[in-house]
């Protein structure tokens, strides 16, 4: 089956620093990747959609200058949380879709971000 | 805007019982519907995916149904086991996934 990895699985940082999270599709080429955020006891909320080689599309209410997304290759997308603050502490999950016309998304294991 | 609701929010049943989880959605123009389980502090495990043209999918003790016209899906779990305890999420795909609020299931040994 299609495998998506995320790195790191857990990160703790100080307020004001930037954190980069990587999402990789290991055995398929992902033309589209998605970034979700999940607060405790809540469901997943889509943050942005990224297509390889183009700018990400952000959902309403998500600051694009704070959450920088780069999808430079067909197997890698990165999410950088810039100038992180405690309210950014959350579980970040990425997913990947194989190609146009494909609708199933394959999910990474998630990254737990804690900002002190 | 697609809205997905899951009822009940939490459910506790004795081991061995059969149970049904419900999911409803407001926009029936979907590509597919997917059921996931999530263990505490972990990522998502895909359980079943039903294409919009399908009525149901089965995997082992799990059976998911889809009634697109009424905007409903159910996940049936047969002969529940303590290992089934988790949060179950449904997600509807119409260009992007919209997740439901989840049902936290506890199977009592």
Distance CA B51, CA B57 (A): 9
B24-48 pLDDT, tens digit per residue, is: 999 999 999 999 999 988 899 999 9
**Residue A102 pLDDT > 80:** no
Mean residue pLDDT of chain A comes to 92
Name residue A94's beta-bridge partners: A35
Q: Which of residues 6-35 of A touch B (CB under 8 A)?
A: 34
Closest partner CB to B99 (pick from A43, A103, A104): A43
Closest-CA residue of chain A to B93: A103
pLDDT (tens digit per residue) in B86-106:
999 999 998 789 999 899 999
Size of interface A-B (CB pairs under 8 A): 42
Question: How many Å apart are CA A32 and CA A9, to the nearest integer?
Answer: 21
The DSSP string of B76-93 is: EE-S--GGG-EEEEEEEE
């Amino acid at each position: 089956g299609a495998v998506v990895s995320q790195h790191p699985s857990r990160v703790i940082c100080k307020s004001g620093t930037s954190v980069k999270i990587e999402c990789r599709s290991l055995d398929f080429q992902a033309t589209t990747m998605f970034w979700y955020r999940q607060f405790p006891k809540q469901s997943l909320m889509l943050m942005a959609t990224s297509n390889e080689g183009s700018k990400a599309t952000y959902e309403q209410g998500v600051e694009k200058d704070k959450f920088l997304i780069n999808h430079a290759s067909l197997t890698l997308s990165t999410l950088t949380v810039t100038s992180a603050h405690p309210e950014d502490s959350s579980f970040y999950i990425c997913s990947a879709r194989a190609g146009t016309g494909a609708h199933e998304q394959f999910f990474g294991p998630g990254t737990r971000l804690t900002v002190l | 805007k697609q809205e997905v609701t899951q009822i009940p929010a939490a459910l506790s049943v004795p081991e061995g019982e059969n149970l049904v989880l419900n999911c409803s959605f407001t926009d029936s123009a979907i590509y597919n519907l997917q059921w996931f389980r999530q263990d505490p502090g972990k990522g998502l495990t895909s359980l079943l995916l039903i294409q919009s043209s399908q009525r149901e999918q089965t995997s082992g003790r799990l059976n998911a149904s889809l009634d697109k016209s009424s905007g409903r899906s159910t996940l049936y779990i047969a002969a529940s086991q303590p290992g089934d305890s988790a949060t179950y999420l449904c997600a509807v795909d119409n260009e992007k996934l919209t997740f439901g609020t989840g049902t936290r299931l506890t199977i009592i040994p």
